[in-house]
Amino acid sequence: MSSPKRAAKKPDTSADAKQLAAEIERGIVDGRLDVVTTDALQALLAAACRAYTARIEAGERFAPVAKNAVSATDVMVTASGLLRAADLAVFELGMWQGFTGR
């Protein structure tokens, strides 16, 4: 007699992402800025950028972060870093926004 196979537990990626975000936030508060390595942080930001872009291009409309979730400084530092990483200037962003209306 064979035993019934248990269904494999499906990973809850959203819950995992929220848990990771909370751990990172706690690390910042505790002064442990290396709670994730540089390459892991880069991988997370890249995946988040691609996921956000894919959903926006699929027709969804939502802000990349909740209102008041980050400071203006957080946005400026991250946006500047993302532009540098893609070898783009603010002027090019402005031109793209003008062409696309985004």
Please give the structure tokens belonging to residue 97.
Answer: 């926004």
Would you list the domain boundaries of the chain? 17-62, 71-102
Cα radius of gyration (the chain)? 19
pLDDT on residue 78 = 97
Q: How far is CA 7 from CA 2, 11, 12, 15, 55, in A?
A: 15, 12, 15, 20, 29
Spatial separation of the C-alpha atoms in residues 55 and 59, rounded to whole Å: 7
pLDDT on residue 67 = 94
pLDDT on residue 5 = 63
pLDDT on residue 10 = 75
pLDDT averages per 10-residue partition of the chain, 102 residues: 63 93 96 96 97 97 96 96 95 91 80
pTM metric for this prediction:
0.82
